[in-house]
Amino acid sequence: MENDILIHNGILLTMEDGLPVIENGFVHIKQGKIANCGPALPEQIRNLAQNPARQIDACGGIIMPGLVNGHTHTPMSMFRGLADDLPLDLWLNAHIFPAEARDINPESVAQWTAHSCREMLAGGITTCCDGYFLENHAAKAMADSGIRAVAGQGVIDFPAPGVPDPVKNIDHAKDFIEKTSTLSPRITPSLFCHSPYTCSKQTLVAGKNLTREKGVLFQIHAAETRAEPGMIKENRGLSVIAYLDSIGILDPDTLLIHCVWLDENDIEIIAKRGCGVIHCPESNMKLASGVAPVPDMIAAGLTVGLGTDGCASNNDQDMFSEMDTAAKLHKVVRLDPCVMDARTCLKMATIEGAKALGLGDITGSIHPGKAADIIVVDTTGLHMTPMHDPYSGLVYAARASDVSWVMVEGKIRLKKNPPLHPLGTDRPARSCRQITR
């Protein structure tokens, strides 16, 4: 690992309180941690710049925290485009579950998790929250890739890859958590109960008790589809959220994924219990699951992050696209152009997502003492010119392919050559940018 790295000559977005824009910003990194950051170059950093171990010239781009993908199923990139344009129940039962039974094994999980990690890192995602079966093989692939991850062993009440006997699913998860806890400082084990309708009350309670015992995150899909609340209401007499609360599942170490079909009482319960929520707008749109009431959740004080979901239902792991979609979807649904502004969406993709995963003290913002999980976004493209506001540029115009540098814990994971602009298009872009300043 490089001992000293200086990133300079860029627009610094720390994602700290107030969401400042630091026009000529720098970040000094030592031993994988952020040592200092701010505007211009203070004298001591100026001296370091004379001969540091490594200098990164941001070339006027945006220096910012790495993105946090709050929900994905990394091995499912192997099912990208397998069964599109189908309702969720048919998609799962007729296509995905059979494909998993046929194709998921230790080798395929490791291979396709590595593939997903390459895709995510290339698009500026430095942290992800994963949930799947045979997760020990996924966790090893994530550790090898260099990404930071919360790795959740999947639990479901029918035979699944790696756990042919569902009676043993909690024991298997316990073994996974214990072994993965020493795999890598960047990999945090967790448990992923698939949903309230695929896991019995006994399984849910046993899973939650295990995560409390081990001090790890409990992940669950909740209120994702229009049919789910009716099923739970019929069987339990409560809404999905009220049911989970009634059996002791909800607390600050529970991560609720999707939360599409909520009412005011559900939101109040989540706020009271302090659970994190992950919004996956593109997956919800593609499966016609509905639109989560995210503006209401945020107004109620909930911590809401963003996630791509797996490639089988998205079909990519592009958080720039996810931010853009989240911002525009809620505007049109509510007929209100003011909701889900660019700053809110970028917070969801960085610091709010990190908080939801229990990693807010480690990553998600650029602050001295935090891990140096940092990306640089190139702003010289025609689609990024002019850039009156970097938050707007990132959410409404930037693409995953604009990411030029990626580091996780101070270790460089992606370096792209200076962008080549055909037909000399960079020159008029620079001229336009100068005119607007």
What are 373-411's pLDDT values in tens digits? Answer: 999 999 999 999 999 999 999 999 999 999 999 999 999
Domains 4-66+366-436 and 67-356 share a fold: no
Which residue did the predictor score with more confidence, 3 or 19?
A: 19
Q: Where are the domains of the chain?
A: 4-66+366-436, 67-356
pLDDT band for 41, please (50, 70, 90 cuts). confident
pTM of structure: 0.95
Contact 365, 14 (CB under 8 A): yes
Any idea which of 47-51, 275-279, 297-301, 306-310 has the lowest mean pLDDT? Answer: 47-51
- On the question of pLDDT at 214 being above 70, the answer is yes
Contact 353, 278 (CB under 8 A): yes
**pLDDT at residue 418, rounded to an integer:** 54
**pLDDT at residue 421, rounded to an integer:** 41
**pLDDT at residue 302, rounded to an integer:** 99
The arrangement of secondary structure in 4-66+366-436, i.e. its CATH architecture, is Roll (2.30)
| CA–centroid distance for 168 within its chain | 29
Q: Which residues contact 106 (CB under 8 A, 6 or more apart)?
A: 134, 137, 162
Query: What b/e readout covers 159-191, taking b as 16+ CB neighbours within 10 angstroms?
Result: ebbbbeebeebbebbbebbeebeebbebbbbbb
**pLDDT at residue 199, rounded to an integer:** 98
Burial of 388 (0-12, 13-18, 19+ CB in 10 A): exposed
**pLDDT at residue 47, rounded to an integer:** 73
Average pLDDT, integer, range 29-55: 82
- On the question of pLDDT at 434 being above 80, the answer is no
Q: What is the pLDDT of residues 283-333, one digit of tens each?
A: 999 999 999 999 999 999 999 999 999 999 999 999 999 999 999 999 999
**pLDDT at residue 88, rounded to an integer:** 79
CATH topology of domain 67-356: TIM Barrel (3.20.20)
- On the question of pLDDT at 119 being above 60, the answer is yes
